[in-house]
Amino acid sequence: RSRAPIQKLADLVAGWFVPAVILVAVVAFVAWATVGPEPRLSHALLAAVTVLIIACPCALGLATPMSIMMGVGRGAQAGILIRDAEALQALETIDTLIVDKTGTLTEGKPDVVGIVPFGEMTEDKVLSLAASVEQGSEHPLAHAILNAANEKAIAVAKADAFESASGKGVQAVVDGRAVSVGSLRDLGERKVVLPGNAEDAAEHYRRQGATVVAVTVDGRPAGLIAVADPVKPTSADALKTLLADGVSIIMVTGDNAVTARAVADQLGIRDVRADALPEEKHRIANQLQTEGRRVAMAGDGINDAPALAAADVGIAMGGGTDIAMESAGITLLRGDLMSIAEARVLSRATMRNIRQNLAFAFAYNVAGVPIAAGILYPVFGILLSPMLGAAAMALSSVSVIANALRLAKAKLH
């Protein structure tokens, strides 16, 4: 979707290169025509034409796009979809990774592990009300609640006037009653008073790493539903690899602090920012950037989209929402954080390859143009012919392409 910054530098150099070569060709013609051996005009034309032929900027123009193309192709083979060349370049300099919890560190396939009804409500009734409302939601917790209702063969009623507030839950009208499903924090903001046992029950599940949501009917608490999402088997090893590579890890989640800390402790994450709404994730990314950090954001949900777009590199999980993948420059098709470590290896290999190509193209022209102009003639009596100049020009382009092709076999582990 965008060009790598290093490509813009190469284009800038190429823009100055052409007039510089023409100037060298003119100077060579004048010098040979003035002080060169007889026949002066023939030698002058020979030198000027050879300069123009040997100095074709093809190698300089191919240096970056060939490496980027091969790097993107190698990434696709490894399940790393690179949509933005700028992200590929920036990834090697990243020093801070912000990670969402649900669907990024965890499987994104949560299950209902507990239901706490209030008053005359039963577990099945609380689950039925919650499932009825969650029919219109794409959140992983909604899927867990609907799956639990299906497994228990609980009837799910039609919901009208469905509304979803990002980071604050959902609400709808079910059988003429206003039903909402959201966080306990949201209930506090709405001044909903919970029964005395609610907080203790919520804390019990949170300490196990579960997310607790509250169900209300007509503004009155109906019950709690605890949903647990297992941590991905590869998350711990992936984070250790990134930490060893000098990347600081920050978990930013909309979950309660107790739940977030329980998951973070399993993965060895020290810096945890909990109860974060989508705009807060965006603000945290911007704040880290103002501190001079190079920030990558990894997430999978609609809530993560603003932060994904704001980060230096946005990384979406392959199983995430469309808006998250559209906001990110890189998508991990396997949804595995280990792919981030592999993507950093690929980024370094690609940028190293580009620098090699640019160095070769620059050295070739620095050496080739003066030789074509006849700088060796006074000492060694050597003056290149246009045929040799054309061969050298073609060889320079082939060399750049051959070097870029090495990325197809780059090892990412």
Domains of the chain, earliest start first: 5-67+348-409 (no CATH), 80-106+231-333 (3.40.50.1000), 111-228 (3.40.1110.10)
Token reading at 304: 């993560």
Question: 103 falls in which pLDDT band (50, 70, 90)?
Answer: confident
Average pLDDT, stretch 132-145? 87
Vertex 398: Cα angle to 73 and 362 (nearest 5): 100
Q: Is the pLDDT of residue 207 over 70?
A: yes
pLDDT at 1: 56
Please give the single-letter amino acid code of residue 250.
I
Question: Which of 305-314, 319-328, 329-338 is predicted least confidently?
Answer: 319-328
CB 179 within 8 A of CB 217: yes
Residues assigned a catalytic role: 100
As a residue count, the chain comes to: 413
Return the closest-CA partner of residue 101 out of 257, 248, 225: 257
Vertex 237: Cα angle to 234 and 243 (nearest 5): 135
pLDDT at 189: 77
The answer to pTM > 0.85 is no
The residue ranking higher by pLDDT, 11 or 93, is 93
Cα gap 232→106, rounded to integer Å = 5
CB atoms inside a 10 Å sphere around CB 39:
9
Task: Find out whether the peptide bond into 39 is cis, omega within 30 degrees of 0.
Answer: yes
Question: Which of 154-168, 230-244, 263-277, 327-341 is predicted least confidently?
Answer: 154-168
CB 219 within 8 A of CB 213: no
pLDDT at 371: 87
Vertex 348: Cα angle to 322 and 294 (nearest 5): 60
Beta strands 295-299 and 271-273 are: unpaired
Give whole-number Cα distances, 153 to 143, 156, 354, in Å.
15, 9, 59
Average pLDDT, stretch 117-144? 90
Question: 352 falls in which pLDDT band (50, 70, 90)?
Answer: very high
Q: Is the pLDDT of residue 138 over 60?
A: yes
Cα gap 377→369, rounded to integer Å = 13
Give whole-number Cα distances, 287 to 201, 394, 410, in Å.
36, 49, 35
**In percent, how much of the chain has pLDDT > 70?**
99
Provide the mean pLDDT of the chain. Answer: 89
Q: Is the pLDDT of residue 166 over 70?
A: no
Question: 147 falls in which pLDDT band (50, 70, 90)?
Answer: very high
CB atoms inside a 10 Å sphere around CB 245:
13
What pLDDT digit, counting tens, does each position of 383-409 carry?
A: 888 888 889 888 889 999 999 999 999
Cα gap 273→255, rounded to integer Å = 9
pLDDT at 167: 65
> Does residue 215 sit in helix, strand or coil?
strand
Question: Which of 15-29, 76-90, 243-257 is predicted least confidently?
Answer: 15-29
